[in-house]
Amino acid sequence: MYISSTKQYSVDLQTQVINEVKNHKRLLSDVAKQYGVSAKTVYQWIRNSDARQTESKGAIVSEIAYLQQKIALLSQQLQTMAS
């Protein structure tokens, strides 16, 4: 039987570590040592955080484009009704 040795870290800890690296411009290796987390784990958290932000931005851009199309259509309908 295989028992996973992967540690589970709280979302709060992950957020705090990512914040230290990205917003406070600290070295990833220094932050990893401070929090007792491997540098590889911190790197993965940051990479996953960046991917989620990119996905989120893509979804927002798509929603804006959809809403702009809907506004244009409604404006056309309003002009038709006003004529």
Query: Taking the chain (83 residues) in consecutive chunks of 10 residues, what is each chunk's mean pLDDT?
Result: 67 95 93 96 93 84 94 95 88
In a domain, 1, yes or no: no
d(CA 29, CA 38): 8
In a domain, 4, yes or no: no
In a domain, 71, yes or no: yes
State which residues form the domain around 27: 11-82
Q: How many domains does the chain have?
A: 1
In a domain, 62, yes or no: yes
For residue 67, what pLDDT is reported? 96
